[in-house]
Amino acid sequence: CFVQSCCETLLSLKKTTGSGFTFSTPYFYDGLTYYGESKFVECAEERKRYDYCSSLRICTYEGSTGLSFLCSYFPSDFIVVGSSLVEMMDMMRSGACNVMAGNKESLLLNIASIDIPSGGDFVMGDRLMTNEPYAVVTRNDDSEFSDIINWVVQALFYGEEKGLTKSSSLCEMYTNSTRSLSDLNFLNAVYCVGNYGEILHGDDNNRGANQINNGTTGMLYAIPFGELQPENDHNYEGISSNSTVLHNMRNNGTLNCGVIDPGGHDSAEVDETLVGMSVDYCRTLAAALFNGNFESINLLRFSANDDDSFLALNNGTIDVISGVKIEKKYDFESSALNGGFHFSTPYYYGNKTEGDNAIYSLATRDANVLLSSFVNCIVLATIYAQKNNIAKKNSVDLPLVSLFGNEFTWALRDAIGYSGSYDQIYEKNFDKGSEEEGRGRNDLNEYGGPQILSFPGLN
């Protein structure tokens, strides 16, 4: 099962049910952007307020995410607030402002339906100023169903990547209800309904982040953390520090972390740089677990050419695998491995130009829901730190998190206190000279570039 958002994803615990939730891979990316006179849109995006930009006036409306964002980055005399979306449009039309701020999808729909100035010097901004991903939500006590949902989403992406479209002749009706879940024909989602682009029905030239990533631009996406310190968190079932697997790991004093030697690359140098990065993620996780002590770790090296690492994870020899390729065959329970596995948010994408389409992450057992969420939260913290200019020296700027119990409140700060931001980890392990050639997908998706990419295993 793929844990694609942070702690809150699996730990949005309901007091009445004791259950959390799993989010699929995001299938739609939105966020705040600007629309208006081109020169003033540029002023808003650059947060420039002098020279001709002193005439910048940005319309928004009460209760919108745009208002809270603008109040954080602009003085009040640059902001014009309406009571509703309709009033914001009216203010733009009357000239009370020269830029509107709102979710891109909403602006696109409303600009097309209302007599708002268009064409000429009026443009939609190129940047998404906030990150607002949308996903399918399932209960975290049914990992198999969550896996099925996620692979349906992946199939839609894969269909567009490969040019597969809706086809009544290929739409398959199942006759055997006992079919193995891993053998389900997920491409049925495409053949019976349509691929991602067909379902989106959008202008291919104006899809922003909702486009297929071709490997030339960054895919490191800082998914919002959400509320990490809910009220009365000590009353939530399942997160008491006295009963969690995290608490037991801390008492044991050591993280057992498997590291994959990927193999199959053209040179040992590439292997070692990726292995080094995987080791750093193991140590970052140890720092988060043990109050900053990144040396409380037992590292075991495994080959990528067999299933030994997953067998070791399944029988408890190791707690987590770092540097593992995301593959569908390991996501579902099987007789050989006995259990399905969670894959964290990816932290490294193979070099497509060199024929490496692998996606690397950390893996945990399906049964360890809290640990899986914790691991994913730490991976995302490195990307969050990068987006928010947080490094080792100012790691205390990371939020506190009480969802895993009070003893792990400083987990994010301890993690980044050791590793630093994603760039600090990357540059430590990869030659800085390679920056001239570009990092491809291993770069921050800062302003809403293409973010859609299927995981391997559907062909």
* Helices 245-252 and 369-387: angle between axes, nearest 10 degrees: 80
Q: What would the two tokens of residue 233 be?
A: 């968190």
CA distance 82 to 88: 5
Identify the pLDDT of residue 433: 55
Strand partners, 37: 122
Tell me: the pLDDT tens digits for 330-368? 888 765 666 789 999 999 998 765 556 899 999 999 888
Query: How sure is the predictor about 229, in pLDDT bands with cuts at 50, 70 and 90?
Result: low
SS (H, E, C) the chain: CECCCCHHHHHCCCCCCCCCEEECCCCEEECEEEEEEHHHHHHHHHCCCCHHHHHCCEEEECCCHHHHHHHHHCCHHHEEEECCHHHHHHHHHHCCCCEEEEEHHHHHHHHHHCCCCCCCCEEECCCCCCCEEECCEEECCCHHHHHHHHHHHHHHHHHHHHCCCCCCCCCCCCCCCCCCHHHCCCCHHHHHHCCHHHHHCCCHHHCCCCCECCCCCCCECCCCCCCCCCCCHHHCCCCCCCCCHHHHHHHHCCEEEEEEECCCCCCHHHHHHHHHHHHHHHHHHHHHHCCCCCCCEEEEEEECCCCHHHHHHHCCCCCEEEEEECCHHHCCCCCCCCCCEEECCCCEECCHHHCCCCEEEEEEECCCHHHHHHHHHHHHHHHHHHHCCCCHHHHHHCCCCCCCCHHHCCHHHHHHHHHCCHHHHHHHHCCHHHHHHCCCCCCECCCCCCCECCCCCCC
Average pLDDT over residues 399-417: 92
Identify the pLDDT of residue 178: 54
Average pLDDT over residues 61-78: 91
pLDDT at 99 over 90: yes
pLDDT at 14 over 80: no
Tell me: the pLDDT tens digits for 218-228? 999 998 886 66
CA distance 7 to 88: 35
Identify the pLDDT of residue 236: 45
Identify the pLDDT of residue 113: 62
Tell me: the pLDDT tens digits for 279-300? 999 999 999 999 999 999 999 9
pLDDT at 117 over 50: yes
Average pLDDT over residues 79-91: 92
Query: How sure is the predictor about 87, in pLDDT bands with cuts at 50, 70 and 90?
Result: very high
∠327-328-331 over CA atoms, to 5°? 100
Radius of gyration of the chain (CA): 23
Q: What would the two tokens of residue 237 be?
A: 């079932």
Query: How sure is the predictor about 243, in pLDDT bands with cuts at 50, 70 and 90?
Result: very low
Identify the pLDDT of residue 4: 42
Identify the pLDDT of residue 399: 92
pLDDT at 8 over 60: no
> Which is higher by pLDDT, 231 or 32?
32
In this structure, are residues 326 and 346 in contact, taking their beta carbons and an 8 Å threshold?
yes
Q: Which amino acid, one-letter code, is at 224?
A: P
